Amino acid sequence: MAVNTESNTESREARMTEEPRTTPNFLRDMIAEDVRTKKYGEAVVQTRFPPEPNGYLHIGHAKAICLDFGLADEVGGRTNLRFDDTNPEKEEQEYVDSIQADVRWLGFEWERLCYASDYFGQLYEWALKLIRDGKAYVDDLTADEIRQYRGTLTEPGKNSPYRDRSVEENVDLFQRMKAGEFPDGARVLRAKIDMGSPNINLRDPIMYRILHAEHHRTGNEWCIYPMYDYAHGQSDSIEQVTHSMCTLEFADHQPLYKWFIESLGIFPSQQIEFDRLNLTYTMLSKRKLLQLVQEGRVSGWDDPRMPTLSGIRRRGFTPEALRSFCGYIGATRTNGITDIEVLEHFQRDDLNRRASRAMAVLRPLKLVITNCPEGETEYVEVQNNPEDPSAGTRQVPFSREVYIEQDDFREVPPPKYYRLSPGKEVRLRSAYFITAQSVVKDAEGNIIEVHCTYDPASRGGNSPDGRKVKSTMHWVSAAHAVGAEIRLYDKLFSKPDPFDFPEGGDLFDNLNPNSLEIVADAKLEPSLAGAKAGAPYQFERVGYFTPDRESTAEKLVFNRTLPLKDSWAKIEKKAGA
């Protein structure tokens, strides 16, 4: 399905005007040079994003998506979304749907939606050609025997006793494999390359295996399925992909990729490897992520602690921030690790510009303004976003009783504590100066109320006589507050390297026991009662939040995207950036 709409053009132009890139990207340079020299003639640059539909996409895929789609966009090229669906036992339509949603959420649209399964017929015919050319054979060795015959990194492999079957016998056996005459694992089709090659991938790799399993698209039409290393390059060639970008772990597979293309004499797609995205405190193994879900250690693939795109989207991350981050880190030929605080810096910077401000008290302490008239409500004007004057203002109710954070009052203040304490004057945001006078305690001695007075002349948060205060605090009118559940998310793992565990230990030993804290009865200003899922908010002095998909009018639920603290900005400042 070709897609070439005006909205796609507009979104492409919007992406190209985002924050300038600051890191070299050799892929961009290579593509620009290929365009300049017309390496592929008059053909446009064609890329593809080729996920396997066996799990949800994670943030590592975001980098690949931005490269595949973004670099093609820059030179007027095209990008296909292709599902490399060659393993029916692990693939599901749920994953196909989620991947499409994630790509679109990031802001990209594909030229064509393709599947490797679309090419099963062609791949089969090409396999027959390789057999007839004496470059492939049917092998009866078991999986364990094939591993034994393959050799090691320091020892060459040895030929299978079935390697020299005649072309006629191999064609007959392969056709019977396709017809379903043999059970799973009875035979495989292997490429005939070089069992003595120093590159183990060239030691007669398996091309097809017998698998009587229902495919999510082709049903039971096939009982033999191509291996990824065979299907991938030929799928690229069928789609005439000019730049097949993949991560560095596939570098040793490139000679095999070329061998198949050259042996078949088909369009020569070019494979190029780049560094994968690795983040501190983050684990990106799809197998391990699936284990987290299956074992109930998280609530699902879209748990806001998960590094999946659906998870971070639910947590409140924005596609604009992810694209800026991916542009910043660039692409190199050497794997490294990026501090997660770099990602968080880009997200805070984006939310600071776009998030509406609101006041929310997570751990409420009642404050009674004793000289404020009882039963009266007035409204104070508050900016919606000081970074965006066009966002305007809102009217927030103010009354005799308000909630403040428990941490914003100390009966006996420690040194350099500038918030509220007996006899100290502070500002309530956009409202009045107040001074604490006394406290009310329960039977256990816990403070349950603070009584104070306010200066009516300081309406709006400034005093006519010009006196200053050292602290400004957020608040919520008790009479108008709406209750909400607040989910405070933190890093899923407690160590920068989740795989750093002692012998006999396990990756999951490093799960952060404090990765989720639920605040059951926070108090929010009434404007948040109608907040829509996914809308970004900055709760002043607290952090960035977004309504969860489970949030309803009867029970508001907000997820913390990030706290306000930005240690990366401090690091950059110290470095003189």
What pLDDT digit, counting tens, does each position of 349-360 carry?
999 999 999 999
Strand partners, 378: 398
Mean pLDDT score of the chain: 93
pLDDT at 3 over 60: no
Q: Report the 3 state secondary structure along 317-350.
A: CCHHHHHHHHHHHCECCCCCCECHHHHHHHHHHH
Q: Give the integer Cα–Cα distance in Å for 269 and 43.
A: 13
Mean pLDDT of 178-203: 97
Q: Give the integer Cα–Cα distance in Å for 249 and 520.
A: 45
Q: Which strands sit side by side in the sheet containing 433-441, from one edge to the other?
A: 472-473, 425-428, 433-441, 447-455, 364-369, 401-405, 476-477
pLDDT at 18 over 60: no
Catalytic annotation, pick one of 129, 217, 276, 491: 276
Query: What pLDDT was estimated at residue 565?
Result: 80
Mean pLDDT of 66-80: 97
pLDDT at 8 over 50: no
Q: Is 52 a catalytic residue?
A: yes
Question: DSSP labels for 390-444?
Answer: GG-EEEEEEESEEEEEGGGB-SSPPTT--SB-BT-EEEETTS-EEEEEEEEE-TT
Mean pLDDT of 214-221: 96
pLDDT bracket for residue 9 (50, 70, 90): very low
Q: Give the integer Cα–Cα distance in Å for 200 and 319.
A: 40
Query: What pLDDT was estimated at residue 169?
Result: 98
Lowest mean pLDDT among 16-20, 151-155, 252-256, 281-285: 16-20
Catalytic annotation, pick one of 12, 286, 315, 419: 286
Q: Which two tokens stand for residue 388?
A: 């965006």
pLDDT at 22 over 90: no
Q: What single-letter amino acid sits at 35? A: V
What pLDDT digit, counting tens, does each position of 298-322 carry?
999 999 999 999 999 999 999 999 9
Q: How many helices (H) and strands (E) does the chain have?
A: 14, 25
What pLDDT digit, counting tens, does each position of 375-411 carry?
999 999 999 999 999 999 999 999 999 999 999 999 9
